[in-house]
C-alpha cells in the first residue's frame, strides 16, 4: 500500500500531525531525523531546525507529501539560479510517524 497524506491536522516544532489517505491520523516526529540529516555541511535540512521555517510546511496536493517552499537552491540549464521546494518522500514520513489515538492524542504529541 502506498502511504500518502490527505491533510495536515496540526503543526508544532518539530511534529506534524497528518491525516493519511488510508484514514489514519499519525504524528510525524521529525526533530531527531532532521538533526541526523543536518550533520553534512551545507545540508538543506538544517534550515528546518528553525521553528519559524519548519512551521511553514505545506501539503502538495498532487504528490500528497509535505514540502517547504524555497529551501533548495538550484540552477537551470542556462546557469540561472532559483529556489525550489524541499519535500520528503511520503513513505519515509509514514515510517517516521506514530498513530494518534487516545493515549497519543494530538494535544500531547504536538505540544
What is the average pLDDT value for the chain, to the nearest integer? 92
Domain harbouring 104, CATH code: 3.30.2020.10
Neighbouring C-alpha atoms within 13 Å toward the C-beta of 40: 7
Listed in sequence order, the residues at least 6 apart from 52 whose beta carbon sits closer than 8 Å to its beta carbon are none
Please state the rounded mean pLDDT for residues 50-60: 97
Task: Give the pLDDT confidence score for residue 108 in this predicted structure.
Answer: 62
Neighbouring C-alpha atoms within 13 Å toward the C-beta of 107: 1
Please state the rounded mean pLDDT for residues 33-52: 95
Dihedral, 93, 8, 62, 88 alpha carbons, nearest 10? -30
Q: Which three cell numbers stand for residue 8?
A: 495536515
9-18, 65-74, 88-97, 102-111: least confident range: 102-111
Domain that holds residue 37: 5-109
50 pLDDT above the threshold of 90: yes
Task: Give the pLDDT confidence score for residue 66 in this predicted structure.
Answer: 98
Q: Which three cell numbers stand for residue 66?
A: 509535505
111 pLDDT above the threshold of 90: no
Count how many domains the chain has: 1
Amino acid at each position: 500500500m502506498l502511504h500518502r497524506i490527505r491533510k495536515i491536522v496540526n503543526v508544532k516544532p518539530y511534529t506534524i500531525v497528518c491525516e493519511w489517505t488510508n484514514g489514519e491520523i499519525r504524528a510525524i516526529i521529525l526533530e531527531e531525523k532532521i538533526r541526523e540529516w543536518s550533520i553534512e555541511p551545507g545540508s538543506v535540512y538544517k534550515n528546518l531546525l528553525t521553528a519559524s521555517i519548519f512551521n511553514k510546511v505545506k501539503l502538495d496536493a498532487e504528490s500528497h507529501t509535505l514540502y517547504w517552499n524555497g529551501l533548495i537552491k538550484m540552477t537551470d540549464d542556462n546557469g540561472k539560479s532559483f529556489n525550489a521546494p524541499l519535500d520528503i518522500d511520503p513513505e519515509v514520513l509514514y515510517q517516521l510517524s506514530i498513530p494518534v489515538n487516545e493515549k497519543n492524542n494530538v494535544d500531547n504529541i504536538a505540544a
